[in-house]
Each structure stands twice: as C-alpha cells, then as structure tokens.
Structure 1
Amino acid sequence: MKHPHRLLGAALVSCALAAAGVGAGPAHAQENQLWISAPYETVLPGADPGGGARERSLAVQVSRDVADGSVPTGRLTVDISEIASFARVSWPANCEPESEVRAVCDFPGMPAGTESVPAATFGLRALPGADAGASGYVRYSAVAGEATAHPAETRIGVGNGPDLGLSQADDQHDLRPGSETSVRTTLSNSGNRTAERTLLWLNASYGLRFEERHANCEYREHPTGTSALCVLDEAVAPGQQYALNTGLGVGRKALYERFDHSVHPYSDEALEEMRGDWTWTRGTGAELDLHPVAAAGAAAADPDIDPQDNYRTVILNARNTADLRLTGSRVSGAAGDTVTARVTVHNRGPAWVASLGAGAAVATVRFQAPEGTTVMRLPEEDCWTSQDGASPTTHYCKTPIYLHEKASYTFEIPLRIDRVVRGARTTVATVNDDPELSIRKFDPNLRNNSARIVVN
C-alpha cells in the first residue's frame, strides 16, 4: 500500500557508554548498554507577524538495553555554540550553565529494573531576525560514574511557515465487535504562518468503518481498509487548536485494528500526489468543518516547516477470535520425480487477522521433508531453513501479513522423491508463539493448526 504522507519521524541519536569492572553496584559494559536519546532534528519557527517567535522543547533521555544492575547518577553536557547566532536557550532547573553556550545537567541514576531516565528538557527559540534556513547542531555528551558517552547531536533549523500537528490519541483495547468508538485528537498550528486550507488524510483498517462519509472528503476502499482525503477550508492560524473527532464503527470482523491520520497545508499538488492513480469516491454526508476560536492571520502558501508531528497512529484492538486451520495433501510419484505438495492456511473467522504495525506473518508453518524425499527450492522471500547439528533440516514458510475472514493461503512445496517409501509422511504445523503476532492469543482452537503431507 502506498503511503500518502510525508513523514520524517523522530529518530533517536544514540551513543554507547562503556564501563569496566565486575560485581554489583554501578552498571558494567558486560551487563548494560547505555544510550543518549534525543530528537534527530527540529525546526524553530521564525518570527511571526507580531515579531515574536514560538519556543520548541528538546527532551533528552539516558536509557539502556538491559535493566540489570544499577547506573549511578550522571551528568549530561549540552553544547549550543553552533546555534547561538540564531537561537536562544531556556535551561531547566537541573542544568547549570557554564557559559553562554554550554551547560551541565544532572540526571538521576537507574536502579535495577529501570530502563531510562530523563536527562534534560530545555527550550529553544529563534532570535529576532534569524534567517530562515539557518542551521546547526546541539551536541551532547554524558558521564555516569567511570563511563563516558560518545557525542550525540540534534540538528536545529529555522523556518517560516505553518506547522500543523496532531496530538497523539490514546490506544484502545478490548473493544466489542459491533460497537462504536471515536478517535479524539487536537489539530494545531505551532508555526509562524497561517495554513489557509488543510489537507487531512485518514485511514481506518479493514475491521473498522467510518461512521459518516463527509461531502468534503473522498474515500477509497483497499484490501486492508478504507482511506479518506478531506479538504478543510477553515484557516488555521499560529497558536490555534481545534478538536478533531472521528467516529468509527467496530465491525464483526475486527481484531487487531489501527487508525492512521495526518495533516498537511493544502495545495493542489499535494492533493494530486495523495490521490495517486487510485479511484476515490466523494462522500455525501455533512461537511467536516473546523471552527477556530480566534481570527485567522494573513494568507500564506508555505510548506509545513516541521512535519514530524503531522502523522499519528492509534491502535484499536477488539475482543475477538479467529480460528486458523491447516490442511495438507497427498502426493505420489516414482524415484527421481519432483512432485508438488500443498499446505493451506484457512482463516475460519469470525475476525480477519492482520499485523499492520509489526508486519509479521499471520502464520508461519514449519515442516521437515518426508522420509525418502528432499525439499527443493522454496521462494526465498517467504521461506527459510534451519539446521541444528545432526537433526533433519527444518523448513519455515510464512503467509502475508493479513488474512481476511473465510480466506486461505496456500504454500506449494516441491519435493524430489529420492527413493520410494510407502506412506512417508511429515507434519506441518503453525508456530504459535511468534512474539510479533502470537496465534495462541487469538486462535481458540490450536488442535487444527497442524496437517500432514503424505507421499506415496
């Protein structure tokens, strides 16, 4: 499925802290890997029409991979010398400035079981007259006990334009199939220019449905759900916020669902890009409108200066089940023949099954070659093998990441008959404990999750 949104995403800038020694007490390199985590990039709005500039916050954390042992209290050093010519910093109480461009921030230790701690959250604001396009790096280093961090950094830029964003709505669990719910979020503009019109993209997965199809939105059905493109004519001025409420029906087929939405300043080019080559159908219900609480500012056609908060995902899981069932096959042939055995995964419902976040297969099956046969070449993108010492080779094949209710997926397994063994057989079974998508959690009947391939 083509993603109709542009998403920079907030990557983590990480660096290792190495420590030597053994025994209890402070964390050791053998026990813990520590990281400094900060936004990869942020853009500061330039001056608004009134001459002021909005502040951005940078949150820095220290975390570790393994929460064993303890990490002592530490010190984070923040260097803003590269951005001092165009930005001003506001230091929090746990940071002590050493100079105009450098501060040291105390952060707490991590006792056993604690995976991360906040190190510092400080504010940045563009200086009056800062040039749009100016950029530089905020650089970080840290020490904790005898450990020293490798430097990390956040790129800081300045831009003029609207900065539309969506707040993150809460995930929802244990929804009842056949019920209704809604996703409530806040649309805001934290830039320094007005977005005269807004382009809103929505996507509800297959087990959900839009409760209303608005006349200023167009809709497209696809195998994993329904997408909508809406053009909102109300101006969104800097500093304004608007409630956005999307009503959703939870279908009888719902299980692992998600709702995605994003906002962008409107342009004809952006709309055409999101439409792509697909066919869209306009809704017939009441228009979806925004009602600003303050007057809009001057017109602007600038792009969004920082799209990292334009896109959000909400998980909506339903209290439902799906019964997977395997069927095998019987094949026959002479020595030297290559025959094709088939194994089919059936979804008997009532729910569809999809891994739309992790992208895991609905089912992975494992099997070994029946006696007297050899498994020939399997598709590399879907299958792999595992050899454990003298044990027979085990083969694994996976389905796609979704399987609709009452649908099935068939694997074709080529077998070369090396010698004829009457009634040779092997068992094919699903792997029920994949951590990304556990069959055991949604399938009420695991007894029918295996089948046989019988040769001759």
Structure 2
Amino acid sequence: MSQPTAVPPRRNRAAATFTALAAAALLTAAAAAPAAADEPAETDALWISAPYDLVLPGADTDGNATAQSVDVRLSHDNTNNSVSGGTLTVDASELAGIADVTWPTNCTEDVASSLRATCAFGSLDGAPWITAATLGIRAEADAPADASAYLHYSASADSTFGPLDAYPTDTHLTVANGPDLGLNQLPFSAKVDINSDVAQPVRLTNSGNRTADRTILTLFASHGLDLAHRYGNCTYLEGDRVSNPMGTTAVCVLDQAVAPGQTYDLSPATAVRTTGAALYERFDYQVAAYTDEAYQQAIEGRPFVQGSGADFVPAPVAALRSADTDDLNPEDNYRMRTLTAANTADLRATATNITGAAVGTTVTARIGVLNRGPAWVASLGAGASVATVDVTLPAGTTVTKKPAMCDEAGGSHYVCRTPILQWEKDRTVFPFKLRIDSADALGATGTAATRNNDPELSISAFDPNLKNNSTTFTISG
C-alpha cells in the first residue's frame, strides 16, 4: 500500500468494483404547489445503492456456506421534498438452485416465490441515505463454483411532490471457493491527546470457505503518529521531512494460516502513539493473501528497513483446504481512520523586504508561510492546501515569473497555495520575479495574508495566533 495521496488510497481490483451503484428516475409530477409562470416546477429523484458485484463463498468441507450481507440503501436529491416512505422490491428468482435468501422483518415474501419480496421503508428525510433492507445471501451446499446470477431491485416512494420511481438496479452474484479476508472498521474519527498511547483493536477474519496460508498486513501512520513496535517480520519505510513526509509505512508478512471462520487480534501491531507534532492524523490498515507479486506491489521498490524486534505472531490455526483464489471479496481488506489531536500550529505569513532596487532591474520577492509548530498540518483526506495566501504586489512592478503554486487573480493580486502538508518548523516560499518599472515602486508596499477560514481546512481551528497571519514588505533603492 502506497502512502495516501490527496484522496484515500485506491483499493485493489475487486474493491474498485464495490462501488455504490446508483440509478434515478426524475419526477414526472410537478410540485404540489403551483409554480409561478416564469419558474420551473421543482423535481426530485429517487436513488438505489447496492453492491455492484458480490462473491458468495461456496460450501466448506462440511457442506456449510457462509452468508453474505447485502445492504440496499435509498436516497433522494431534493431536500425541499419530503419523502414519507415507500416500497423496495427485490427479485432474487435467478438465485434458484444457487443461493438462499434470508429476508429482514420489514420484507414480505411473494406468495408465489420465496425469492421475491417487497420491503417497506420509512421516511427518507433527515439523512443522506437510509438502509431499506439488509439481505442475507448464502450459497446452497451443492451450488457449483462460478455459478452466477443477478439480484434485481426497484423502488417507489410517496412524496409531497408526487410519486417517485427509481430506475431498476442490480447486484451480480458469483459463487467461488477461496478465503475472504476482512478487517473491522474502527471508529472512523476519534479525538486524542498528544504524547499518548492509542489502542486500536483491529481484527482479522476469514469469512470465506478456504484457508489463507499466509497474509500481508500493511499499515500507514501519518507523521504525528508513531507505530508502537518494530517487528522482525515487518519492514518499515520511516517518515522524514524530505523524501517521505507523509508518515511511516509498515509491511508485515504473517506466516500463520487463517482458517475459515477464524478471527485474529492484530491490535499489538496496529497500536500507535501520538507525538508532540500530532494534529490531523490518519491511520490506514490493509490485509491481503500473500503472493510474491502482492508483496512486491506493497513495497513498490522503496527503501524499506527490516524491523529489529521479535516477530508479530497471531494465534496459529490448522489449515483446512488450499485456496482457489486469493480473496473472494477484497472490499473489506482496506480500512482507514482519522485521529484529531488536541494541539495547535502557529502559521505565520512571511515576506522579505527588497533593498538595492533600481528602475529597470529585476528583483525577487520571497513570500511564504512558516509553520512555527508545535504541530505539523496535513490534509491527507480532502487534499486541501495547508494555507491559501492572498498576495498583493507593490505598485510600479511587473511580474516576469510567478511561482508555480500561484495564480493571477487580477491586476497585482495573486492567490498562492501551499502543499497539502507542512511539517513543524518548515517554511513554504513563493518567489516572485518582479521588474521595477518606475520610481513609484521604490518605497511601495506589498501585502500577504492567509485565508483563515477556508471550509476545507480552517486555519482558525488550530492556529492560536492569527495576528501574524498577515504581513507587508517594501521595495527600496
């Protein structure tokens, strides 16, 4: 697993297919209240979200198969429209001879078929999505490997704008034999103190029908977090401010087999300690069935160093059968969470006065942002700049070369953006090449100021001293 970019790291092949499949049909009815002649009637759309692909583990050696849950969720677009409730129809008739369905209590089976049901749902108001039904799907004992079928969904709802009908949506199901490794999701966000130990009770479970003989555990801890151990069966790419500023990555090879139904406690390996630089932190954890190719992809040719401690050893299990595939449903192999530390970072706008200038010469205006600490600042999820700086250059000058991270905003006004992270005590500099066009420039003043309330990353939320977030500079002969 590579370090996170501005957005969460890309998942592997099957995880990419486990995206919410949404389809909508626009309202054909107008709003209940008549619209003015020059105003179009408001519309709304009903959406269905369900897994695009799902792999069902086949039966194990005892003829038992593990059930998979399928969450079907609903939403609508227009919050001005009140959606009081409706019905979700699920057609699983193609699963006959392949899998059995367990219906939740809000679903009523069709009298003609136990593989069709209508599920009642309540109001969609007040939440982005509601779960209309959670289905239990279990492969039949004699279902052949590679058997496949579709679940079909349709939905309708009542609203103040009139009836809503969603465009039909499907989930493709396939029966397969193999391990199905998964990690539990820790609380997605948590508040922590600096210089403190953070327990992270991560569990590894094999929900498939075959044993994973070896596994790869990959961890990422951002700069303000320190992994509590350096295990001998793990290699580490340590964070540093120049070549690896985001944080530390660990890749561990676990030689113990993970049998179907077995759960292991990984919390010793996933424990972290916050440092004095902690502020907006991120922890990623991922597991995969071991192959040489998967291991090489995890380290990506980077200079990892072997840990010097004892090996991390989960509880051993006896293998039952070898796997036909590496992992049935990799969508739960990768997880991440954010940790917000009670800490501050004092950003200061900087600019250097320019001396010895003369008409016709070119000078350099060095404008920047210094992070005085104690915390680093990073936006490893949204990918927002640590600081956006409004720069006004002195009158009587012309920019002959602007910094790559700055954009012209009209006249002598420029908007400059720092990278998405800045270590404590580090400075970002924006060098402007300025031509002195006239004597008016000599004695003229420029300004630089950070935007302190950017909604993506608010400086005022962590900076205790906003008075030094603006500055001026002058040009003199």
TM-score, with structure 1 as normaliser: 0.88
2:282/2:338 contact within 8 Å kept: yes
Q: Using the alignment, how far apart are the partners of 1:198 and 1:163 within structure 2? A: 12
Shift of 1:158: 2.3
Q: Using the alignment, how far apart are the partners of 2:296 and 2:465 within structure 1? A: 47
Deviation digits for residues 202-257 of structure 1 (CA, Å, limit 9, x no counterpart): 11111111222112212111322111111212211111111221321111111111
Counterpart selection for 1:193 from 206, 210, 230: 210
The letter for the 2-side match of 1:303 is D
Q: Using the alignment, how far apart are the partners of 1:369 and 1:279 within structure 2? A: 43
Change (3 A) 1:411 1:125: same
Q: Using the alignment, how far apart are the partners of 1:306 and 1:229 within structure 2? A: 21
Shift of 1:84: 4.2
**Which residue of structure 1 lines up, in the alignment, with residue 336 of structure 2?**
313
Counterpart selection for 2:470 from 427, 450, 453: 450
SS of the residue corresponding to residue 73 of structure 1 reads strand
Counterpart selection for 2:349 from 326, 336, 341: 326
1:226 equivalent to 2:248? Answer: yes
Q: Which residues in structure 2 correspond to 1:250-399 (within 5 Å)?
A: 250-292=274-316, 295-300=318-323, 302-331=325-354, 339-375=363-399, 378=402, 382-386=405-409, 394-399=413-418
Deviation digits for residues 14-70 of structure 1 (CA, Å, limit 9, x no counterpart): 12343343358xxx9837554222223221112222222211111111124554442
2:403/2:432 contact within 8 Å kept: no
SS of the residue corresponding to residue 331 of structure 2 reads helix
**Which residue of structure 2 lines up, in the alignment, with residue 177 of structure 1?**
194
**Which residue of structure 1 lines up, in the alignment, with residue 6 of structure 2?**
none
Change (3 A) 1:140 1:386: farther
1:216/1:282 contact within 8 Å kept: yes
Change (3 A) 1:361 1:108: same
Q: Using the alignment, how far apart are the partners of 2:346 and 2:76 within structure 1? A: 39
Deviation digits for residues 259-308 of structure 1 (CA, Å, limit 9, x no counterpart): 1111111122222221221122222223211115x644134463111110
1:22 equivalent to 2:31? Answer: yes
1:431 equivalent to 2:431? Answer: no
**Which residue of structure 2 lines up, in the alignment, with residue 413 of structure 1?**
432
Q: Using the alignment, how far apart are the partners of 1:193 and 1:81 within structure 2? A: 28
Deviation digits for residues 406-449 of structure 1 (CA, Å, limit 9, x no counterpart): 11111123445555524333322111122221111111111111
Structure 1 gap segments, 5+ residues each? none
Structure 2 gap segments, 5+ residues each? 4-8, 34-39, 240-244
CA RMSD of aligned residues (A): 2.8
Change (3 A) 1:59 1:452: same
1:5/1:262 contact within 8 Å kept: no
**Which residue of structure 2 lines up, in the alignment, with residue 77 of structure 1?**
89
Q: Using the alignment, how far apart are the partners of 1:393 and 1:119 within structure 2? A: 55
Q: Using the alignment, how far apart are the partners of 2:97 and 2:90 within structure 1? A: 16
Change (3 A) 1:286 1:172: farther
SS of the residue corresponding to residue 366 of structure 1 reads strand
Q: Using the alignment, how far apart are the partners of 2:45 and 2:408 within structure 1? A: 32
TM-score, with structure 2 as normaliser: 0.85
1:5/1:274 contact within 8 Å kept: no
**Which residue of structure 2 lines up, in the alignment, with residue 103 of structure 1?**
117
% identity of equivalent residues = 47
**Which residue of structure 2 lines up, in the alignment, with residue 115 of structure 1?**
128
Q: Using the alignment, how far apart are the partners of 2:41 and 2:303 within structure 1? A: 56
Deviation digits for residues 160-209 of structure 1 (CA, Å, limit 9, x no counterpart): 11111100112453322111112111110001100111111111111111
Q: Using the alignment, how far apart are the partners of 1:49 and 1:234 within structure 2? A: 21
Deviates more, 1:330-339 or 1:243-252: 330-339
Shift of 1:324: 0.5
SS of the residue corresponding to residue 219 of structure 1 reads strand
Change (3 A) 1:334 1:247: same
1:195/1:301 contact within 8 Å kept: no
Shift of 1:336: 6.6
Change (3 A) 1:378 1:119: farther
Q: Using the alignment, how far apart are the partners of 2:403 and 2:91 within structure 1? A: 52
Q: Using the alignment, how far apart are the partners of 1:129 and 1:213 within structure 2? A: 46
SS of the residue corresponding to residue 184 of structure 1 reads coil
Shift of 1:345: 0.9
The letter for the 1-side match of 2:194 is P
1:58 equivalent to 2:70? Answer: yes
Change (3 A) 1:51 1:342: same
Q: Using the alignment, how far apart are the partners of 2:233 and 2:30 within structure 1? A: 65
1:67/1:114 contact within 8 Å kept: no
Count of aligned pairs between the two proteins: 447
**Which residue of structure 1 lines up, in the alignment, with residue 261 of structure 2?**
239
Change (3 A) 1:128 1:425: same
2:76/2:124 contact within 8 Å kept: no
